[in-house]
Amino acid sequence: MKIVCDASFFFGEYPLDGDLFTTPLVIAELCDLRSKCRLDALKAGGLTVIEPPPESFGNVRKAAESTGDIGVLSETDVSILALASTIRGEVATDDFAVQNVAAALGIRVRPILQRRAKRRIWKMVCTGCGRDVEEGADCPVCGAPLKRRHK
């Protein structure tokens, strides 16, 4: 089985059976010596680093918009989902937003330490007047900040 690893996978000693993949953006997030050493050991054992094709990012962003997770996904998160969809692999992550978008894309998820996330659709709600708002940081009606809530 092909498994695309998020940065959290490299922070500890988590066993995974299968062919391991990641993206250059994940590697750029690895700052501490321990995770870099783990990366080097896994590369020696066959970990493959691949940049997903640019067209695959659009499908991920569209799915993230439909689930309401687009505002919380980093470019690194989008890259691992794009790679998983390109190589038809699973994603190893504890990030609930990544798990939610993966479910929307039909990508299997392997949680690392946390439980598997429930699939949710999110919306933005004004903390002042309670209106549902499509996007932005502040309510266009009353100016209060918006908060993300599940539908």
Whole-number pLDDT of residue 117: 47
Report if residue 130 sits inside a domain. Answer: yes
Instruction: Please give the average per-residue pLDDT across 84-106, as a whole number.
Output: 94
Place of tokens 């918009």: 65
Report if residue 76 sits inside a domain. Answer: yes
Is residue 83 located within the same domain as residue 145? no
In whole angstroms, give the CA distance from residue 21 to residue 142.
Answer: 46
Report if residue 131 sits inside a domain. Answer: yes
CB 32 within 8 A of CB 48: no
Q: Which of 112, 116, 115 is nearest to 11 (CA)?
A: 112
pLDDT tens for each residue of 28-38: 999 999 999 99
Is residue 19 located within the same domain as residue 71? yes
Report if residue 116 sits inside a domain. Answer: no
Is residue 62 located within the same domain as residue 99? yes
Quote the DSSP letter at residue 128.
Answer: T
Report if residue 73 sits inside a domain. Answer: yes
Could you tell me what percent of the chain has a pLDDT over 70?
91
- Structure tokens given for 70: 């687009």
Domain membership of residue 146 as a residue range:
121-151
Report if residue 7 sits inside a domain. Answer: yes
CB 134 within 8 A of CB 116: no
User: In the predicted model, is pLDDT for residue 62 greater than 90?
Assistant: yes
Report if residue 21 sits inside a domain. Answer: yes
User: In the predicted model, is pLDDT for residue 51 greater than 90?
Assistant: yes
At 66, is the pLDDT very low, low, confident or very high (cuts 50, 70, 90)?
confident
Report if residue 20 sits inside a domain. Answer: yes
User: In the predicted model, is pLDDT for residue 80 greater than 80?
Assistant: yes
24-38, 39-53, 115-129, range with the lowest pLDDT: 115-129
In whole angstroms, give the CA distance from residue 128 to residue 126.
Answer: 5
